[in-house]
Amino acid sequence: MSEHAYLIQLTAVTKRYGEGASELMALNGIDLTIKAGEFVAIMGPSGSGKSTAMNILGCLDTPTSGKYLFKGTHVETLSRDQRARLRRRFLGFVFQGFNLLARTSAQENVELPLLYRGDSSAVRLAAAKKALAAVGLAGWEHHTPAELSGGQQQRVAIARAIVTQPAVVLADEPTGNLDTLRSREIMDLLVGLNRDQGITVLMVTHEPDMAAYAHRIVRFVDGGIASDEMNPHPVSGTASTIEHAPVEHA
């Protein structure tokens, strides 16, 4: 298969921090390919290299050596500004800690990536309302994070990640701060985005129960990929669509 058949391709990627006695080789020449529309869980113990790999995939860091192709573009050759433009256009991020602005409404939090992109207020308003509705938060646009439960805050964070209509959502421990029920609801949302909108999902998780939703599980150990296996029976999530996902009350 040609390299352009992949959405993402890492070839012999290394990442080194420090020099001499303090040198740390975080990635030891990994190879990884991801097709558009996949749902991939990335697992591994602390220090295994999975977070470093996610930072490179998210254009937040650059490899020390090796190649990173995204839609056929050599990301490792891009300037900081060019990587930032690629992030704004193609990537959405979901974090364990939600990373919402505390005194800002859900609507305004979701609009933020569009503000950075320079979209008009009318475009931002319409897109944010649509994204919030897509995660089951229609009617909650003017609530601040303090007025929302943890599950609702993570829904706002997911709406913020998808408001730009990205090709890829990178989720870093998206259920790490949630109880079991809310975790399943968030995973249902990610499954729905992947299935219904074709968004590629890359998710770091320590939890096997959450990784079970992915089509494919990649395990990192000591800066390398120890295994890369298809999940023959991924959890499909609930039958409800993302637009009609239940909303819990704070």
Domain that holds residue 222: 36-63+83-244
Cα dist from 234 to 107, 196, 230, whole Å: 33, 16, 9
pLDDT in tens, 26-41: 999 999 999 999 999 9
Residue 250 has pLDDT above 80, yes or no: no
- Is 229 within a domain? yes
- Is 193 within a domain? yes
Give the whole-angstrom CA distance, residue 106 versus residue 159: 9
- Is 88 within a domain? yes
- Is 208 within a domain? yes
* Domain count for the chain: 1
Cα dist from 164 to 99, 103, 130, whole Å: 17, 22, 11
Q: What is the pTM of this model?
A: 0.89
- Is 117 within a domain? yes
What average pLDDT is seen over the chain?
A: 90
Give the whole-angstrom CA distance, residue 181 versus residue 90: 30
Structure tokens at 141: 């646009």
DSSP three-state, residue 106? helix
- Is 1 within a domain? no
pLDDT in tens, 168-199: 999 999 998 889 998 999 999 999 999 999 99
Overall average pLDDT of the 61-81 stretch: 95
Lowest mean pLDDT among 192-196, 204-208, 214-218, 238-242: 238-242
- Is 59 within a domain? yes
Query: Domain holding 225: CATH number?
Result: 3.40.50.300
